Amino acid sequence: MATQKNTAAIEKFPPAGLARKAPAQAVPDGFENVEPQDYAIPRLNICQPLSPEKNKRHERFIEGLEEGQIFNNVMHKNLGNKIRICVAHFFKTRIKWHGTIGEGIDCRSFDGVQGRGNPGVLCRGCRFNGVNKGCTQFYNFAVIVLPDRGPVGPEGFATMSFKSTGITVAQQWLSRMRLLKDKDSKGREVLDENGVPVIAPMFGSLHDITTTQRSNEKGTWWQYDIKTAGSATEEQRASGRDLCRSMLSGKFMKQAEAEIEREAGERRKPGEDETPRLRGSFNGQSRRLHPLRGCFSCTCTKL
């Protein structure tokens, strides 16, 4: 449990977009009428061979960004070749894009279970569910990018999405996290009342994220490479716990849905969204943050 000192630090630096009740003087001047749905949800992406962020003539150009580097799409910030994160939450989504450029989305699932739109059926039995059948599945993580020094700030909140060949990386990552034992502030394993080691919550560990280049017959692309980097501090746990609660409450749903609609017009021709060389983490990804059905790290549902 976070100490009073740590809790105060989190209150001072809340994750971006959280709706908090605070004294009127705590609201920055000019932000009095801003609501949670008015914010864009930051997303971590990898710069790919055709990413517009490295094109000087494109409006999304990021100075100094090179292939294989990680960037924040809202802050337009180059994060370099390596970042350290604390994971707060995991959720799955699906999108079936329309057959031509700019015509938007046919069907989408905000929980990976039930589709909404056309055909709008249960994903498990849908005829478009499967490899190269028209519906793209995403494994999504809400994370906090940790600063090199100093307290955790709101600019650290972001989402990471995996699709296509990247889903295998996400599944392996989930499996490793599920096996991590919880530890106290002195590095000792936490035991339950029966003396059995307690599994750590998602926000109980840190992870180093780098990228690696992959290729197949379709082309070359960059993919995340993830390694566990030890246990989170009490302050980092408090930030992760707070973000997890916010995810479960669904506070980010409206703006996430709006982003999906805005980005639908950027889709390419049928089949191209599955081609790794185009974009390792494509712009049309679903990021609606929905209360999870069966969270992989079940501890977050007990907060």
Model pLDDT for residues 201-231, shown as the tens digit of each residue: 999 999 999 999 998 888 899 999 999 998 9
Phi and psi torsions of 231, nearest 5°? -85, 150
Assess whether pLDDT exceeds 90 at residue 266: no
Cα–Cα dist 162/67, whole Å: 18
User: Is 57's pLDDT higher than 60?
Assistant: yes
| Distance between CA atoms of residues 245 and 30, nearest Å | 27
pLDDT value of residue 289: 33
Percent of the chain topping pLDDT 90? 28
Q: Pick the residue with more confidence: 178 or 7?
A: 178
Rounded to two decimals, what is the model's pTM?
Answer: 0.72
Cα dist from 268 to 49, 98, 249, whole Å = 16, 10, 34
Residue predicted with more confidence, 270 or 223? 223
pLDDT at position 20 is 52
**Range picked from 38-42, 89-93, 183-187 for highest mean pLDDT:** 89-93
Q: What is the pLDDT of residue 229?
A: 93
- Chain centroid to CA 291: how far? 14
Give the closest residue to 74 by CA, choosing from 172, 156, 190.
156
The mean pLDDT of 238-265, rounded to a whole number, is 65
The C-alpha angle 166, 167, 170, rounded to 5 degrees, equals 95
Question: Residue 49, exposed/middle/buried by CB under 10 A (0-12, 13-18, 19+)?
Answer: middle
List pLDDT tens digits, range 140-161.
998 999 998 877 877 788 899 9
pLDDT value at residue 65: 94
Residue 131's pLDDT is: 72
pLDDT, average across residues 265-276: 39
**Of 113-117, 175-179, 218-222, 292-296, minimum mean pLDDT range:** 292-296
Of 91-105, 122-136, 170-184, the range with the lowest mean pLDDT is: 91-105
What is the pLDDT at residue 2? 45
Spatial distance between the Cα atoms of 25 and 150, rounded to a whole number of angstroms = 25
Q: Indicate the average pLDDT of the chain.
A: 75
Rounded CA gap, 198 and 135, in Å?
Answer: 37
- Most confident of the following: 23-32, 35-44, 277-286: 35-44
Q: Is the pLDDT of residue 300 over 80?
A: no
pLDDT at 93 exceeding the cut of 60: yes
Phi, psi (rounded to 5 degrees) for 128? -95, 0
- The confidence band for 29, taking pLDDT boundaries of 50, 70 and 90, is confident
Question: By the 8 A CB rule, do 284 and 266 touch?
Answer: yes
The residue count for the chain = 303
Residue 68 confidence (pLDDT) = 95
Residue 250 has pLDDT above 90, yes or no: no
Local confidence band at 26 (pLDDT 50, 70, 90 cut-offs): low
